[in-house]
Amino acid sequence: TLAHIKNVQSNLDTAICNLNKRSLGHDLSKLGNKEKPYFDKFTPRLKTMTYNSDEYKATMIEMRPAIDHHYKNNSHHPEFYQDGIKGMSLLDLVEMICDWEAAGKRNPGGNILKSIEINQKRFGYSDELKGILINTAKELGYF
């Protein structure tokens, strides 16, 4: 019925507004004094590294104060939640996959499919969620 269609449209509009708000506020904590000095120093180095390599992991340890602050202030990171990725909403997951795609573009050999694979081991998510992330990345035109 028309009423049902309007209700669904309203619900979708709410989700779109939430995603728009996330887009505008994405990673703003990186501009604050607890993160910016670290990201200014280390981002140029990170751009030359392969994601999850030993060199990458060592750099992340050097950045630990900023990374910890970042995770505590950005719900699109599984580390934000006490129970990790299981605590995330679908909207968190959408923002996360968009973030992973952008991060992959700044690293040599970066690729969303590799990120999904590596992060399945890192965060312990199921093959079912892995498939959903791959389907989402494909639908968004990432490959």
pLDDT digits (tens, 9 = 90+) for 55-64: 999 999 999 9
The pLDDT of 19-23, averaged and rounded, is 96
- Whether the per-residue pLDDT at 108 is higher than 80: the answer is no
What does pLDDT average to over the chain? 95
> What residues have CB less than 8 Å from 43, skipping those under 6 apart?
none
Measured CA to CA in angstroms, residue 2 lies from 7, 9, 47, 51 at distances of 9, 10, 51, 49
* CB count in 10 Å sphere of residue 107: 19
> What residues have CB less than 8 Å from 72, skipping those under 6 apart?
80
Q: Which residue has the higher pLDDT, 109 or 92?
A: 92
- CA gyration radius for the chain? 17
**φ/ψ bin of 27: left (φ > 0), alpha (ψ from -120 to 50), beta (otherwise):** left
Q: Residue 114's pLDDT band (boundaries 50, 70, 90)?
A: very high
